[in-house]
Chains A and B, each alone.
Chain A
Amino acid sequence: MAANTDRRRINAPSGGTSAPVFAKTVLESGYLQSLRPNRTRGPNELRKTFLQTGIVPSASGSAYLEVPTASSSQSTLIPPTSSLKIAASIQGPKPLPRSAPFSPTLVLTTTVKFAPFATRHRRGYIRDSAERDLGVHLETALRGVIIGERWPKSGVEVVITILEGDEDAWWGDSGAEGGAGSGFGLLNVLAGCITVASAAIMDAGIDCVDMVAGGVAAVTGDGQKVLDPCPAEHQDLVAACAVGYLASRDEITEIWLKGDVGADPDELIEGATHAALGSVSVLREVLLENMEAKMNITKEGSKRKLEDVEMTG
C-alpha cells in the first residue's frame, strides 16, 4: 500500500534490523537453545496482572494494564520473554457532530495503536492492518456489553495505546523475524485490550450489562492445554483462542480462535473463559478500589464545604 506510507516524518528504514548473531551461538551448538525461556508456571497458572484506573485526568475514563515478564534478566541481549503494557482512555459519551447522520444508539469507535517501539519490529505511525483488525475485535467485544440504546445521537471513543506488546515468538528463533511467527501474540494483546477497555469503561461510568474480561488459552503440540500462554515460552503452539467473557451471564461477546484445533474446540474455549475469570477477579478488585476512592473524594469534598460554611458563619 504505497498510498499508506507516512511521508511527513523521517522514518526509520521499514525493514527493521536483524538480531545480532554472536559467535558463541554458532560455535557452541546447544548454547542458543539453553537460553530459551521455559514456562515456569503451571499450565493453569496465569501471569500476574497490574491494573489501575483513572490515569488520564482529561479523559472521562482511563485505565492501565501491565503483565510483567516472568523471568529475571539474563546475560544475553535476547530478552527472555515479552511483557504487555496497555493504556486505554475513553472520550465521551459526547454528542455527535452536527454533520453526522442520526444514530439511535451510541456510536462506538475503537482505535488500537501499537506504539512504534512496542514490538520487535517497529510500527509506523499510521495504523496497519493488524491494528485495524484488533480494533474491530475490540469493538465486537464491547458492543455487546454497552447498553447503546440509552445514548442516542452520541458517540464514545475508546483509544488504546499498546506500549509493549506480546511477541509472536522468542527473539532467538531465526524464523521469528520475517513474519513467520504464529501471530498468537496478538491474541494476548487482544485479551489485554478487552480487560483494560472494560476497566476504562467502568471508570467512565458507561452503562453496561456486565464487566467483560479477556482471557487466552492455547494448545501445544503435544495436546496440552495451557492458560495465558506467553508465545516466547512455547515453541510449538498449535492453536490459541482469545475470548471476551461476561462472567455473571456466562456469555461470550468476542471469540477469536486460530490454528488447527481439530473438530472439537470446546475445551480450548472453556480454557480461555477460565483465563478470563482470572481477569474478572482483578477487574472486581479495581472496581472496588475505584468506588472507594470516589466515595472518599465526595466525602472529603463535602467536609471541605462544611468547613467553608463554618468559616463564613
Chain B
Amino acid sequence: MAPNQPQQVTLSPAELSFLRSTLVQSPPIRFDHTKGPKDFRSMRAEYDVLPGANGSARIALEDGTEALVGVKAEVEKSQRRPSPDARGNTLSVAAGDAEMRDTDAENHGKGKGQNSWIETSVEIPGFRDDDPLPVFLASMLTESLLASGELKDRLYINSRFHWKLYIDILLLSPPLSYPLALLSMTTHLALLTSRLPALKSEKDEDPLFDDDWDAAVFLYPKNEGKSLFGAAEDKPPVIVLAMAVGPNIIFDPCMEELAVADAVLAVACANATSSSTRARIVSIRTIDPPSHLTPPGVPNSMNSATGGTVPASSADALTQRELLATSGVWTPPRGGMKRALISQVVKIVVEEGGVAEEVISALQAIELG
C-alpha cells in the first residue's frame, strides 16, 4: 500500500526563510502585519442556526474558513450491568449514592456519566472520515469535553435512561489553515446555547419531557437565579493553537505561518472555577507542524548555476548541509520544543486576563448580544 501523501507546503525555500526571519524578530512581524502575536483572526459568528438541532453555531473566519456545528441529543436506554453495587446498600459507594439522591436533586447524576454518551464526528471536505486529521481533531475535541466530567454527568436521566449527545462538526470550506481552533470555538458556542427538554417525570420512571421549548434547560446551566455554593458557571472548554518560532510564541497562526513553525501546541482550557481564579488546562497536545515537510533550500555555494561547486560526494553534501544551520538558507526544523517554552505558552494562556479568558468571554458576549 502506498503511503498517503501529506499536504504539501506550496512556499519556496526562499519564501520560507523570509517568513521565518520576520517571525523571529522581536516583536515578531506576522504574515498579517497588523496583528500582534496574541491576536486572533477576526470572525463572524452566529448561533441557533439549525432549527432541527438542540444547539448549533456557525463561525466564519476572515480568510473564508467556515465551520458549522450541530448538537443533537437523543434519549437512550442505559445498559444494565450485573454489578454488586446495585443489589445491596452495604457497599459504601451505593450508600453514599443513595444519600446523595435524597439530599440534593441537582447532584443526582454525579459520577455516573460515561464517556460513550458523547459522540463527536468531524467532517472535512477532501478527507475521508477515517483519515488521520479528522480522527485527531475529533478525539482532541471529545477529550477536552470529557476532561472535567461535569458534562457527561448532566446527561444522566435516571438509572435506566440517559441522553446521548451527538456533536456533528462540519467544516464548510477546505481547510485553509489548521482548523482545530475554529472547530473548537464553534463547538463551544453550539454547546453553550444547547438546550435539553425539561424533565417532568421523577426518579426511575420512563422519562417524560415538557413539550414547551421555552421551558427547556440549558446544557450548561446559567446561574442567574440560585447558584450552587457560589460557584462560577461551568462552560465548555475551548482550544487555542500556539506555535513557537525561535524564541517567539504566536497564537492562532495562519497556514503560511504554520509552514515555518518550530513546534505547534494545542492547548484546551476551561474557564476558572471558584477554587482558582485562573483558567484550567484540560488537555494539551503537540501537533506535527507542516514545516517538517518543507523542501530544504540549496545555497549558492553548493549550486553550480550560481557559481558554486557541487559537492563531490553525498557525504560531502551532507557535511556542507549541516554547516548551513545559521546561514539563513532554509532547512526544515528538527527536534522538539523546549520545556521552558511549553510552560511559557501555558502561562500566557491561563494567566488572569490571558488568552483563554479572552476567548471564552468573547464567545460569551456573542450569545448575550
Contacts and interface: CB of A to CB of B under 8 A. Distances in A.
Interface residues of B, number: 63
Nearest to A144: B336
B283 interface: yes
Interface string A140-165: 10011101111000010100000000
B337 A174 contact: no
22 contacts: A21-B84, A100-B2, A100-B5, A104-B295, A105-B292, A105-B293, A107-B6, A136-B132, A136-B136, A147-B334, A148-B293, A149-B332, A181-B115, A255-B284, A259-B147, A259-B283, A260-B280, A263-B278, A263-B350, A266-B339, A269-B342, A270-B339
A306 interface: no
A195 to B, nearest CB: 15
B296 A100 contact: no
Interface of B: 2-6, 8, 79, 81-85, 87-88, 90-91, 114-116, 129-130, 132, 135-136, 138-139, 143, 147-148, 263, 265, 270, 276, 278-288, 292-296, 318, 321, 331-332, 334-339, 342-343, 346, 350
Contacts of A29: 88, 90-91
Given A32-B84, A251-B337, A253-B336, A103 B282 contact: no
B6 A132 contact: no
A259 B282 contact: yes
A258 B149 CA distance: 12
B87 A26 contact: yes
B2 A96 contact: yes
A253 B2 CA distance: 26
A243 B302 CA distance: 38
Contact of A263 (B132, B263, B279): B279
Contacts of A4: 130
- For chain A, give the interface size range: 35 or more
A162 B114 CA distance: 26
A179 B118 CA distance: 11
Contacts of A137: 285
Contacts of A264: 346, 350
A132 B339 contact: no
A109 B5 CA distance: 9
A313 interface: no
Q: DSSP majority for the A interface?
A: mixed
A264 B81 CA distance: 38
Contact of A250 (B283, B339, B350): B339
Interface of A: 1, 4, 18, 21, 25-26, 29, 32, 96-97, 99-101, 103-105, 107, 109, 127, 129-130, 132-133, 135-137, 139-140, 143-145, 147-150, 155, 157, 174-175, 177-181, 183, 209-210, 239, 241, 244, 246, 249-266, 269-270, 273
Given A133-B139, A148-B292, A263-B278, A179 B114 contact: yes
Contacts of A260: 147-148, 270, 280-282
A149 B294 CA distance: 9
A254 B286 contact: yes
B46 to A, nearest CB: 30
B335 A253 contact: yes
A171 to B, nearest CB: 13
Nearest to A103: B5
